[in-house]
Structure 1
């Protein structure tokens, strides 16, 4: 799941308009980009704000045909969203937002035998609520130096991208349809940029990886890409699909006074985002969802998705293409509960603070386990349904200064004893690091980071080019090479292959101690139980199983809402929660 917007802050060593950075689509249409250099002073062409489609509100996208001389020199507008993930204040973006950025190595178009560069298309994360083509990375210097075209795309988000209400002719999944439209545009036009339309790798991270999962099962996406990479995400995740979109929509309309489609069309785009933010906790805690991908009717004019992810992985075979799949070792441990990095700021009575804090730190492992379990289950089901193309799996462990979330987002609040990468940190070693200026000025202080960055980009480039990420000095064996022995690469200062499940290091060797409530007083235990009992999915039965063995009884339900207890704990404090629990109010 992704979490903050960033601007273009990286070092640009040279910028110029160049005749070699002109794309000619036809005699009457062209696009003009700019020539810049990588941090190694290698020239390439950058095309920003390339329009791939247009779309009216709550309508499917329509492919854009280049017309006249189009300027690709500045970023296109992002789609409407809150400016930041955790501390939202204002909205940004415009509904005219279906743009992509295209980064192209320079080449001689007249060179004999040139068949086109392989293409990497990246779908950003952000919980389907925030993000853009520049979300979490601004450039991809080393990948471009390895002769790969890199593309990143915008797609519609939040209510405007995923509201589903057929009675108002709102079919939903517009964000996924935008992604598909971008792939169609690339298939049609990338040859004019020097790309090979038959050598496209689709990569996504977090919600972007969940999106890639959907495309692997979408008949309408077949033929638009030949390989896929899924980083820290799956469409089986709680935040990647909603089962009750119409119920949510009806309550949403009732709450804000919408009675017709026309009223929805008449509101400003920013109104939807602001309304959804200010009431987001209410709707999420009450209905355990927000606007997300969902199943459309078979009768819809152009459905993207007609079954749930659980149905798809059981009944349908995914596109049988080479896959690169991976997680980070700690994923959401420090992201899902960002306030917990500074326990003095928790809204918990002081007399509980130390005990509760120590237990919460342990229980973050449950969140990681649940997430990893769903990601790995997706891979296993693909194999069970006959996926024969190689699946290359990895766990990214390296703890370095290029990891954006850990170093830039959490900063000084981060506790030094947390070793290992968290959700999104691997992106800093695939694309150009966020702190590249500092790292270039002090290369000696970043030797380990540069080494992992070089290795990571080479592995990704090898996968994009050849369908195999192995290095000359490291043979990467497929996860599905042996029927009874899963294998995955551990990416750290030293690379190694490991056998077994990626889950092994999570729950079974760790959580037995985490579930030991003996160190807590009764009041502490009840409050902590209220905080934790409402975990969803695979972890819920384990929580009930362990807690029920203690004297504190079974887990309160709280309407089966994933984050309700978290919100209550942080908003009203443990003593009030305890009082409500004792009088049966929750």
Structure 2
């Protein structure tokens, strides 16, 4: 009898060490199997190819996904697109994989939440390192995440048919089309899809909202810490940036055809390493990132962005429920690697991005001096007042573009538009604690809201009681929005009012939750006035 009990106990123990298979699913490509989560609450189908790409199709839209015979084991979650890491360049060129997490017991069909990862368009992936599904799927939604091409492989834009631009965005469109074709097989409702993303992923969501290519692919959208109206959303001179990157490898040309020949021959590792020594904030400041672009039109080539996002949102807005958010201390991440030299350069240059246009250099310099005086008074930018620089980065790069986009959409469409302002500082503000010199600053850094949405492998610490309240509130509101288009259908813990056409309403999300008006109204008005007068609305 004792021996039998030992066998049963050992069997139960061993079962927890071996992945248990999830129900098989038949999609267009064939049959696939996944695994059951360790707690048994959901099914995981990870590493499914949703499209293909290789060196012969670099810089173009992806090819259709492969088909297979037999059963594809969708259990390998360690795919990512080539990028620089502390361990060197990791990733593979054929990296277009999608992950589907399905609640085991929920009633079908289920709403879908599709997450687009961030990383300045040069890093990141859709895996559980960040995008852990537990917090969301317990609210009876299917979570989908995926990889898309990054850096030169995803965003080389040369204005020629061989490299028209936005391959990474076209990957995102391909993923959404795959979801439309296949998600019903997992128990999902293809007519109830919400896309959401953070940072470059949030900007991607905003760009997809603006794009004609995504009509009918999603019903709602959530934009975290990004905007298609921010100065780093669009590359206004992509050929120049492409030339600058290969110049770091010893090549000197500005001819699109010659650049294409170079980029085609270089290994993906060389392409990744060309600018890997420059911190992301400095790449942003120096216009050194390959970003989404406005595409030229070529016969037989589908474009994602046929015009500037501002024009697309003005002329052909999608009438769908929208949600926007930013954190109150976004800029902490972007001052972390400032040095005496970079701060000195801040004093010598104007503060504006390429999305503004001026009648003359004198006009630009005069307005830049006015903005510097607003933030720094008569002082030079230095380590002494670096928190003021953090505020500038917060407002210019994230907070104000988000507000301006939300305001524009609220006045243009009939569907509700919501905004929240995340200020909570707790035990899961991992960006501020792990990657900046300012872990004890109040508020939430760029990306600090992520771990209140996802249970991430990057932060294995136990969730404390206070953080659990924030997680429950935030994920309940996000999933309510995905289900109903309303984050507080039951008025709990408060009624979250959307913007009206003449009133901006913000949910302040901190230790307590409250409704309020626009954050930092004087700063908002300063930048709004600048953009009304100087926003660039055409591309050469």
Query: TM-score, normalising length from structure 2?
Result: 0.79
CA drift at 1:276: 3.0
CA drift at 1:250: 4.1
How far apart, in 1, do the equivalents of 2:245 and 2:509 lie? Answer: 44
Residue by residue over 1:322-372, the C-alpha shift from the partner in whole angstroms, topping out at 9 and shown as x without a partner, is: 11211111112x1001146x99x9999xxxx99943312223212222231
Which position in structure 2 is the counterpart of 1:248?
241
CA drift at 1:63: 2.6
Question: Conserved in 2, the CA contact under 8 Å of 1:321 and 1:389?
Answer: yes
Question: Conserved in 1, the CA contact under 8 Å of 2:213 and 2:304?
Answer: yes
Residues 229-378 of structure 1: pairs in structure 2 closer than 5 A: 229-252=222-245, 255-256=250-251, 259=258, 261-278=260-277, 288-300=287-299, 301-314=301-314, 316-332=315-331, 334-339=332-337, 356-370=382-396, 371-378=398-405
Residue by residue over 1:513-539, the C-alpha shift from the partner in whole angstroms, topping out at 9 and shown as x without a partner, is: xxxxxxxxxxxxxxxxxxxxxxxx879
How far apart, in 1, do the equivalents of 2:175 and 2:304 lie? Answer: 14
Secondary structure, in 3 states, of the residue corresponding to 1:102? strand
Which position in structure 1 is the counterpart of 2:117?
124
How far apart, in 2, do the equivalents of 1:437 and 1:206 lie? Answer: 22
CA drift at 1:281: 9.2
CA drift at 1:396: 0.8
Question: Conserved in 1, the CA contact under 8 Å of 2:407 and 2:504?
Answer: no
CA drift at 1:166: 3.2
Residue by residue over 1:415-471, the C-alpha shift from the partner in whole angstroms, topping out at 9 and shown as x without a partner, is: 53x21111111111111155765315xxxxx21111111111111111111111115
Residues 21-420 of structure 1: pairs in structure 2 closer than 5 A: 21-25=23-27, 29-37=30-38, 41-55=39-53, 56-68=57-69, 69-83=71-85, 90-107=88-105, 115-134=108-127, 137-167=130-160, 169-252=162-245, 255-256=250-251, 259=258, 261-278=260-277, 288-300=287-299, 301-314=301-314, 316-332=315-331, 334-339=332-337, 356-370=382-396, 371-384=398-411, 386-410=412-436, 413-416=437-440, 418-420=441-443
Matching of residue 469 in structure 1 with residue 506 in structure 2: no
How far apart, in 2, do the equivalents of 1:379 and 1:354 lie? Answer: 34
CA drift at 1:493: 2.2
Match of 1:449 among 467, 470, 476: 467
Question: Conserved in 1, the CA contact under 8 Å of 2:113 and 2:143?
Answer: yes
Match of 2:520 among 484, 494, 503: 503
Secondary structure, in 3 states, of the residue corresponding to 1:399? coil
Distance 1:48 1:539, change over 3 A: farther
CA drift at 1:196: 0.9
Distance 1:285 1:322, change over 3 A: closer
How far apart, in 1, do the equivalents of 2:502 and 2:330 lie? Answer: 27
How far apart, in 2, do the equivalents of 1:270 and 1:365 lie? Answer: 35
How far apart, in 1, do the equivalents of 2:269 and 2:447 lie? Answer: 27
How far apart, in 1, do the equivalents of 2:281 and 2:337 lie? Answer: 20
Distance 1:269 1:435, change over 3 A: closer
Secondary structure, in 3 states, of the residue corresponding to 1:438? coil
Residue by residue over 1:303-322, the C-alpha shift from the partner in whole angstroms, topping out at 9 and shown as x without a partner, is: 111111233233x2321111
Query: TM-score, normalising length from structure 1?
Result: 0.73
Residue by residue over 1:388-409, the C-alpha shift from the partner in whole angstroms, topping out at 9 and shown as x without a partner, is: 1111210111110111201232
How far apart, in 2, do the equivalents of 1:538 and 1:105 lie? Answer: 44
Secondary structure, in 3 states, of the residue corresponding to 2:92? coil
How far apart, in 1, do the equivalents of 2:281 and 2:493 lie? Answer: 50
Distance 1:434 1:135, change over 3 A: closer
Question: Conserved in 1, the CA contact under 8 Å of 2:129 and 2:458?
Answer: no
Which position in structure 1 is the counterpart of 2:365?
none
* Unaligned 5+ runs, structure 2: 1-14, 346-378, 532-540
How far apart, in 2, do the equivalents of 1:54 and 1:117 lie? Answer: 28
CA drift at 1:201: 0.5
How far apart, in 1, do the equivalents of 2:523 and 2:451 lie? Answer: 24
Secondary structure, in 3 states, of the residue corresponding to 2:191? strand
Distance 1:196 1:377, change over 3 A: same
Distance 1:238 1:354, change over 3 A: closer
Secondary structure, in 3 states, of the residue corresponding to 1:451? helix
CA drift at 1:73: 0.9
CA drift at 1:123: 0.3
Which position in structure 2 is the counterpart of 1:479?
498
Distance 1:292 1:415, change over 3 A: closer
Distance 1:396 1:260, change over 3 A: closer
Residue by residue over 1:97-148, the C-alpha shift from the partner in whole angstroms, topping out at 9 and shown as x without a partner, is: 000111111148xxxxx54111100001111111111276241212111111
How far apart, in 2, do the equivalents of 1:438 and 1:539 lie? Answer: 44
Match of 1:430 among 449, 453, 458: 453
Residue by residue over 1:549-577, the C-alpha shift from the partner in whole angstroms, topping out at 9 and shown as x without a partner, is: xxxxxxxxxxxxxxxxxxxxxxxxxxxxx
Deviates more, 1:174-183 or 1:287-296: 287-296
Which position in structure 1 is the counterpart of 2:509?
491
How far apart, in 1, do the equivalents of 2:455 and 2:283 lie? Answer: 35
How far apart, in 2, do the equivalents of 1:330 and 1:437 lie? Answer: 24
How far apart, in 2, do the equivalents of 1:507 and 1:496 lie? Answer: 20
CA drift at 1:219: 1.4
How far apart, in 1, do the equivalents of 2:158 and 2:166 lie? Answer: 11
Distance 1:168 1:279, change over 3 A: farther
CA drift at 1:160: 1.0
Question: Conserved in 2, the CA contact under 8 Å of 1:320 and 1:389?
Answer: yes
Distance 1:222 1:357, change over 3 A: same
